[in-house]
Amino acid sequence: MVPLPIALLSIFYGVVAALAAAMAWKIALGRLHQPIAWALVWLFCSGGAALGLAQLKPWGRKLAIWTSWLLILSTLAISGLLVVARRPGLGLAVTFSTACYYLMIRYLKRPGVIAWFGEEKPTRVGQV
């Protein structure tokens, strides 16, 4: 059985994958004029994280951590664009939203969560 926090994270990454798929579809139809590579990267990273987390696979946890870092970087880039567009208040609000992604990373690195995925946290030499 999947623990509730992991299930909620999996749903979050599933929603991100659905949004990326919708963007890729609009690009493929010609309604949106952007490079399709970014949409496909988001689709595969977030889709893989959603599936890996739901199956409690170690690679899913690592992929979810990397996807969260990508979300942080893209959110900060959007914040920078808002500041350049003379909307610093909105840019600051968007910057604060990166705390949510960082909390996800911290949660996925907890020893108890790592144990759910069947991974052993390495111990230091001399520690019991």
Residue 80 has pLDDT above 90, yes or no: yes
d(CA 27, CA 77): 21
Q: Residue ranges of the domains in the chain?
A: 4-116
What pLDDT shows up at residue 25? Answer: 96
Give this prediction's pTM.
0.79
Which pLDDT belongs to residue 45?
Answer: 86
> Which residues have CB under 8 Å from 81's CB, separation 6+?
91
Q: What pLDDT is recorded for position 128?
A: 53
CA 11, 102, 92: angle at the middle one, nearest 5? Answer: 105
Is the model's pLDDT at 121 over the cut of 80?
no
